[in-house]
Amino acid sequence: MAVESMTGFGRIEGSFTVARLEQTLSWCWELKSYNGKGLEIRCKLPTGKDKLEKIVIEEIRKELRRGTITANLSQKVDIRKQILEIDEQLLSELSQLNKKFIKGGLVSSDPLRMDSLLTAPGILKIVTEKELNSSESKAIDTAIARDFKKALRMLSSMRRNEGEKISRILKEKIRELGREHKKITKCLSSRSTSISRKLKSQVKDLLDSKAAIDPVRLNQELALLLVKVDISEEVERISAHLTACQELLLMKKPVGRRLDFISQELIRETNTICSKSNNQRLTSIAIDIKVAVESFREQIQNVQ
């Protein structure tokens, strides 16, 4: 498994014809995937297909590790031969009621015609679905489950393709950060010389003033000042973080969370450099690194 995106889509249509009933059941799976902290699965299934939810969840968990996944199944029945059914009991009741009204003088003595009775609500209905037997239902569910797996493979393929694109972008961002790191390393060398020269000058002026000086206290203050402006550790950690990012991109397992953590550490190191810097050039480079890291982190948000 190389770098994989959390964005993907899969769509598969299928059908199953029951010759005995002269009807065809058609369906469509639509799977969508987008960013998520963990793995969240949402199923939307037609009435009567609830038992497919277990298969959907199990297959997704086998295939994916992170992302919000929606699985939507829609279906329809195509009837080749429609059947008309008459509610004979209701028809008989209406006919008897009509005779009763005639006998009571409530309506005209003319009996209701059959065509009038058939237009009464509920008398005549069209049967659009006929009952499947257990073997037919099982065969249909098997076909629907098989098509779900196809849609899932399609979604996974798209996530991998998107992941390859993101991986190329991330590698370029790491190279960019590497170039900025070289600049800051070079700047660090000249900065150390400048700070040392400045401190020596200030100490010389202080000694020349013939003021009372505690040598121990002076050494302590100088050491403290050097610690406050020293950024060598931050620069070394940035180099280590960039190496770790390169190694993670080669791993065959989900690395999105680790990359996100490292990007946060890179931002923390650059913030520290900015706060310690007393050099305009150094501050400018640190800001460029921070901007590049922010761009790097934006891409990571879509990595599994």
pLDDT of 97 higher than 70: yes
How much is the average pLDDT of 134-138?
A: 88
**Residue with the larger pLDDT of the pair 112 and 151:** 151
**Residue with the larger pLDDT of the pair 294 and 230:** 294
Backbone angles phi, psi at 253, to 5 degrees: -155, 165
176 and 245 Cβ atoms separated by less than 8 Å: no
For the chain, domains (ranges, CATH) are: 8-81+132-161 (3.30.230), 83-127 (no CATH), 163-300 (no CATH)
Q: What is the pLDDT of residue 126?
A: 58
* Contacts made by residues 184-191, CB under 8 angstroms, sequence distance 24+: 184/235, 184/238, 184/273, 184/282, 184/285, 184/286, 184/289, 185/235, 187/279, 187/281, 187/282, 187/285, 188/231, 188/232, 188/235, 188/282, 191/279, 191/282
Element (H, E) at 255: none
pLDDT band at 29 (very low <50, low <70, confident <90, very high): very high
pLDDT band at 129 (very low <50, low <70, confident <90, very high): low
Least confident of 29-43, 153-167, 189-203: 189-203
**Residue with the larger pLDDT of the pair 36 and 229:** 36
> What confidence tens digit (pLDDT) does each residue in 236-287 have?
999 999 999 999 999 888 999 999 999 999 999 999 988 887 778 888 999 9
